[in-house]
Amino acid sequence: MKILYTLSLYIIKAILSLIALFNKKIRLFVSGRKTVWTTLNEKLDKNARYVWLHAASLGEFEQGLPVAKALRAQGYKILITFFSPSGYEVRKNTPDADIVVYLPLDTRVNAHRFVQLVNPAMAIFVKYEFWVNYLNELKKAQVPTYLLSGIFRKDQIFFKPYGGMMREALHCFTHFFVQNDLSKELLNNLGFTNVTMSGDTRFDRVAEIAERDNHLDFIEQFKRDALCVVFGSSWPADEEVYLQYLNTCKANVKFIIAPHNIHPTEIAVLRDNKQKLDRKVALFSEKDTLNLSDYEVLILDTIGMLTKVYSYADIAYVGGGMGTSGLHNVLEPAVFGIPVIIGKNYEKFNEAKELVALGGVLSVDSREAFAEVMNSLVNSDERRQIVGNINRDYIATKKGATSTFLKGI
């Protein structure tokens, strides 16, 4: 099975190299890995103790960040690896790590070379990254290895008759810190007792976001004294639900749209097609030449500032839930104590399910449903406060996963 696993990685590598000729994201995935060994040889401090933290993408990086910061404060240096370009390209220059690189593909040669070169004091895998050869090399080198904010489901390969190789890889972990009781139960059923139900470090991360300085002059100029609705990580399927409301809203409301895809062609279609969006629209990229207070809609054709923008929202819509792309992070706006609206597809996202049940997150499945929810919130300060407080209180009760992890390692 391990031979087939390794062979499949080489086949995938060859296929991705071909796809990279035509696909920008895959090209970054392939080309970014060509410089990993050079970067490590140049930047590694042989006298330092490194914590190696691996994150699949941006969301997992945010989960790992509170732990990385805490361990760095204890004197460790932090090496972060990413699997996906969407994480690496956004956070490759983060000040919260000493070295950031792509993770070389999980071949036995790469894994052995990486572990021997880095010689980490500990390794932390975030949420659900399980690379068999890396885990085996860490175990051979007797490196303490932890799963942070792990989550397991019954349909995963570990719990299938044919999942023997992956089950065996779990034995390489020193300790599992998991998000919920089901994950702990599933691991217990496999015979693992080195499991702690610690919760999700994302709650610590978003709580930290709410406490920092989120001031943005251009948002204050745009918003003025109007209500502000922020559409975060919005996809075309989401636009189909909310744009009609934007076009017909008569209340004193300003709208900020942060599309998931900020390609200039798609931004132009959103701004210039009056059949889609018939309001006075400004772009972030043009803000220095405009009087933003004169505009009704602001489109963020940039990345990296959505969490700060959420701090100005009276209501937020989080994208991804109307289509199949996957719901984005509802906690980022929820921490500011505001109502959050999402689409209909959220069953795979535990915090969304819990907040929908509590009434802090409101799910809609049509233009009519969106308009009805929006009208109820726009027209009632009291309702906004009640719904928003549910979200703030929920996050406050979920904090603490970082301290549990630090005490348990």
Question: pLDDT of 333-358, one tens digit each?
Answer: 999 999 999 999 999 898 999 999 99
Count the neighbouring beta carbons within 10 Å of the beta carbon of residue 44. 17
Identify the residue with better confidence: 31 or 143.
Answer: 143
Judged by average pLDDT, the poorest of 32-41, 271-280, 391-400 is 271-280
What pLDDT is recorded for position 1? 63
Position 129 confidence tier, pLDDT thresholds 50, 70, 90: confident
Position 26 confidence tier, pLDDT thresholds 50, 70, 90: confident
Inform me whether the pLDDT recorded for 30 exceeds 70: no
Identify the residue with better confidence: 317 or 162.
Answer: 317
Residue 397, both tokens: 């009760």
Q: Are 309 and 256 in contact (CB under 8 A)?
A: yes
* Percentage of the chain exceeding pLDDT 90: 76
* pTM of the predicted protein model: 0.79
Mean pLDDT value of segment 83-88: 85
State the span(s) of the chain assigned CATH 3.40.50.2000.
212-397
Cβ contacts of 58 within 8 Å, gap of 6 or more = 84, 86, 87, 90, 91
Inform me whether the pLDDT recorded for 11 exceeds 70: yes
Q: Exposed, middle or buried: residue 305 (CB in 10 Å: 0-12, 13-18, 19+)?
A: middle
Position 321 confidence tier, pLDDT thresholds 50, 70, 90: very high
Judged by average pLDDT, the poorest of 19-23, 98-102, 345-349 is 19-23
In order, the DSSP letters of 124-156 are: EEESS---HHHHHHHHHTT--EEEEEE---TTS
Position 404 confidence tier, pLDDT thresholds 50, 70, 90: very high
Backbone angles phi, psi at 89, to 5 degrees: -65, -25
Choose the CATH number for 2-199 among 3.40.50.1400, 3.40.50.11720, 3.30.460.80, 3.40.50.12240: 3.40.50.11720
Question: What torsion do the CA atoms of 237, 238, 241, 247 make, to the nearest 10 degrees?
Answer: -120
Identify the residue with better confidence: 20 or 335.
Answer: 335
Per-residue buried b or exposed e for 26-41, using 16+ beta carbons within 10 Å of the residue's own CB: bbbbbebbeebeeebe
What pLDDT is recorded for position 85? 85
State the span(s) of the chain assigned CATH 3.40.50.11720.
2-199
Position 13 confidence tier, pLDDT thresholds 50, 70, 90: low
Q: Are 324 and 239 in contact (CB under 8 A)?
A: no
Q: What is the mean pLDDT of the chain?
A: 92
Q: Are 311 and 228 in contact (CB under 8 A)?
A: no
Inform me whether the pLDDT recorded for 123 exceeds 90: yes
Q: Exposed, middle or buried: residue 190 (CB in 10 Å: 0-12, 13-18, 19+)?
A: middle
Residue 280, both tokens: 């006075």
Q: Report how far residue 336's alpha carbon sits from residue 308's, in angstroms, rounded to the nearest whole number.
A: 10
On whether the 212-397 domain is CATH 3.40.228.10, my answer is: no
Inform me whether the pLDDT recorded for 225 exceeds 90: yes
